Structure 1
Amino acid sequence: MKGNMLIVHGGGPTTVINCSLYGSIMEARKHHEIGTVYGALGGTAGLLAEKFIDFSTVSQNELELLKQTPATAIGTSRTHLETEDYQKMIAIIKKHHIRYVLFNGGNGTMDTCGKIYRAAQGKDIFVIGIPKTVDNDIAITDHCPGYGSAARFLAQATAEISQDVRSMPIHVCIIEAMGRNAGWITAAASLSKGDVEAGPHRIYLPEIAFDEENYLQDVRDLYNKYGCAVIVASEGLKKADGSPIVDPIMQIGRSTYFGDVGAHLAELVIKRLGIKARSEKPGILGRASVLYQSSVDRKEAILAGEQACKAALSGKTGVMIGFKRISSSPYSIQVIEIPIEEVMLHERPIPAEFIAEDGSGVTDKFKEWCRPLIGGDLLEFAWFNQ
């Protein structure tokens, strides 16, 4: 039976979410069972408002641009959905003769995907999830499209900042990395490390309780040794009691807005140690910088989009496309289909085997796992000031 396809983006964008969109559209065009391929303009909010784009009206040249377009070309949202909204979406999906629905996003989006799947059971609608998150915290899959590019950005940016800091070693620099509850992005800074003096000198993950006194002692020791220090810290650092190291500055409903961790850590160094310090917070630049897009990330995002389309056409529903690591050297993965209910809102933190014993760095095992995802070597720098 012929039916239309709808692609919905949810949550924070990445540099490769449009690559998955491209993969799904291109794959759908190969199959006569699919009529029109729609995109929801503005995520689930667009779906509920019936704001769709018909991709048959888009030129091939513009579709090719998706592979180098950061964020999402069809828009996204974090719309809070009530129980009745899922039934509304099913009615809209049926109204537009949509048989295949692909949800591309992170943990929250996979939760929505799972709820739509439940609501669609028995209605000849096939629902598939496509993982997307720079945080890399979706359960079961080895990694998520979006992470490799964010990891490459932070690793290269850390290398560049480290080179600057040691060129004129007079201060401490704190780099705040994205990742509220999982430190995958923060950990990727370790790939920038060249010689022992270059930095980053310490990496603080949200999986490890932050100790202010230990941190200050580390900074003091590093400054005495090198005349400078480069610290990479997760935005989600917490104390031993689980509370954030920076108090919330505003709360609206269920949303909490925290202060800058990097600025807080730099201020501690200035006030407590009397050492010049500054903070850098790439923020959304780290997930939007297409110049740092990983070639591996791009390829796998396209693959995930293609496979989601194929899964729906084969009659699969209620699954998310994922990756299983076969080998890190040479790098090899296998596409798998994961029951959506096994990943709905299940955050995956960095495992203990990837975290250094002293809690202020990562292991070689993490670097071996992460290195293939960033899509090639980082830039190397000259250094003569021994």
Structure 2
Amino acid sequence: MKGNLLIIHGGGPTAVINSSLYGVIKNAQNHPEIGAVYGALGGTGGVLSGDFYDFTQMQPKTLELLKQTPASIIGTSRKSLEPGDYAAMIKIFKQHKIKYVLFNGGNGSMDTCGKLYQAASKEGISVIGIPKTVDNDLSITDHCPGFGSAARYIAQTVAEISEDVHSLPIHVCIIESMGRNAGWITAAAALAKSETTYGPDLICLPEVAFNEDKFLSEVEFLYKRNGCAVIVASEGLKNEEGSTIVDPIFQVGRSTYFGNVGEHLAELVVKKLGIKARSEKPGLAGRASILHQSTVDRYEAIMAGAAACRASVEGKTGIMIGFERLSTKPYQIKTIEIPIEDVMLQERKMPQEFFAADGNGVTREFIDWCRPLIGGPLLQFARLNS
């Protein structure tokens, strides 16, 4: 008996969230067990209102454009759900003959996915998670769709800013990167440095306690040596007491809106060292850029969507699709099925072996791990002596 399939997006979008959606839709076409493929408009809020889009209405040419469309074409949300909302969702699923539910999101979304699975476990409805987060902080999986593109963006952007700073070496530039508690995106800035690019001089990670005196001493040394410095700092930098170095502006649930860490650090440099400094904050550009979309990230996002669709038809439920790395050189992965209970709100930070000994950067092991995910080399720049 045919059943319909529903896709829900949760949390912040990425450059490849629509690629996972594409993977689901294309794979569903191979399964006669699946009737309509719906998308919830506006995340869980769209589920509760029964506001669905039927992808059978989408033209094939438009469907192909999903792979290069930023953000979430069906919308997403960070709506907090009450216990009664899950029972309400089950009722709506039954009304629309939905037998397969795929939830694409990060930590909070996988928690919601797990609770929805528990509510649907006796209703004959399959609930499966598709990983998605630029922060790369979902547990167990080697990495998450969305991270590779965000990593490519920060690395290329830092390489370009570094060229600018070194061509007019008069100031310190602080680049603030996304990542509340896990420094994966910040660390990826290390890929900016090569034989023909300057790259960052310091990388400040949220897992490493920030010491103001040590930071200022290192900046002063770099400035005296080079006449400039490029520093990449996480938005979630914390002091030795575990508090963020800039008080949050606003906090609701798991969502924290930090103050401007880059601006704070630039002010420290100006006021305490008397050195000209400025801050840059790419912000949403780092997760919305299709120009910097990683081809590997896009391919794997499609793979994850297809694997989730296939698993649901096979009768599986209560899992999240993840990646297991088989080798780094050559780069090979395979999809795996992770019990959703092992993922719900289990934040994955960078392991110790990826931190440089002095805490100001990353190891070669991290660079080797990360490089395949950005989908090929960054742009190379001219040098007068080359």
- Aligned-pair distance for 1:95? 1.0
Contact 1:197/1:226, CA 8 A, preserved across alignment: no
Q: Determine helix, strand or coil for the equivalent of 2:323.
A: strand
Residue 204 of structure 2 is aligned to residue 204 of structure 1? yes
CA distance in 2, matches of 1:334, 1:78: 30
Deviations 1:253-312 (A, max 9, x none): 775432100000000000000000000000000000000000000000000000000000
- Aligned-pair distance for 1:133? 0.2
Name 2:159's counterpart in structure 1.
159
CA distance in 2, matches of 1:183, 1:285: 18
Name 1:72's counterpart in structure 2.
72
Name 1:13's counterpart in structure 2.
13
Identity %: 67
Residue 87 of structure 2 is aligned to residue 87 of structure 1? yes
Q: Determine helix, strand or coil for the equivalent of 1:161.
A: helix
CA distance in 2, matches of 1:51, 1:65: 23
Q: Determine helix, strand or coil for the equivalent of 2:80.
A: coil
- Aligned-pair distance for 1:373? 0.2
Deviations 1:323-343 (A, max 9, x none): 000111100001100000000
Structure 1 335/16 Cα, relative in aligned 2: closer, same or farther at 3 Å?
Answer: same
Deviations 1:139-181 (A, max 9, x none): 0000000000000000000000001100110000000000001
Contact 1:9/1:105, CA 8 A, preserved across alignment: yes
Deviations 1:53-85 (A, max 9, x none): 011111111111100001100000000101001
CA distance in 2, matches of 1:113, 1:90: 13
Deviations 1:16-57 (A, max 9, x none): 000000000011011110001000000001000110001111
Q: Which amino acid aligns with 1:20?
A: S
CA distance in 2, matches of 1:168, 1:30: 57
Name 1:380's counterpart in structure 2.
380
Name 1:41's counterpart in structure 2.
41
Contact 1:186/1:232, CA 8 A, preserved across alignment: yes
Q: Which amino acid aligns with 1:77?
A: S
Q: Determine helix, strand or coil for the equivalent of 1:321.
A: strand
In the alignment of these two chains, the number of paired residues is 386
CA distance in 2, matches of 1:299, 1:284: 22
TM superposition score normalised by structure 1:
0.98
Name 1:176's counterpart in structure 2.
176
Q: Which amino acid aligns with 1:236?
A: G
- Aligned-pair distance for 1:249? 2.7
Q: Determine helix, strand or coil for the equivalent of 1:290.
A: coil
Q: Determine helix, strand or coil for the equivalent of 2:189.
A: helix
Q: Which amino acid aligns with 2:232?
A: V
CA distance in 1, matches of 2:360, 2:163: 21
Q: Determine helix, strand or coil for the equivalent of 2:179.
A: coil
Contact 1:18/1:71, CA 8 A, preserved across alignment: yes
Of stretches 176-185 and 252-261 in structure 1, the one that deviates more from structure 2 is: 252-261
Q: Determine helix, strand or coil for the equivalent of 1:12.
A: coil
Name 1:114's counterpart in structure 2.
114
1:243-322 correspondence to structure 2 within 5 Å = 243-251=243-251, 255-322=255-322
Contact 1:137/1:182, CA 8 A, preserved across alignment: yes
CA distance in 2, matches of 1:20, 1:163: 35
Q: Determine helix, strand or coil for the equivalent of 2:240.
A: coil
Contact 1:172/1:230, CA 8 A, preserved across alignment: yes
Of stretches 8-17 and 195-204 in structure 1, the one that deviates more from structure 2 is: 195-204
CA distance in 2, matches of 1:255, 1:72: 19
CA distance in 2, matches of 1:216, 1:177: 19
1:177-192 correspondence to structure 2 within 5 Å = 177-192=177-192
Q: Which runs of 5+ in 1 are unaligned?
A: none
Contact 2:21/2:305, CA 8 A, preserved across alignment: yes
- CA-based RMSD: 1.3
CA distance in 2, matches of 1:171, 1:197: 18
CA distance in 1, matches of 2:281, 2:256: 19
CA distance in 1, matches of 2:31, 2:342: 29
- Aligned-pair distance for 1:248? 2.2
Name 1:3's counterpart in structure 2.
3
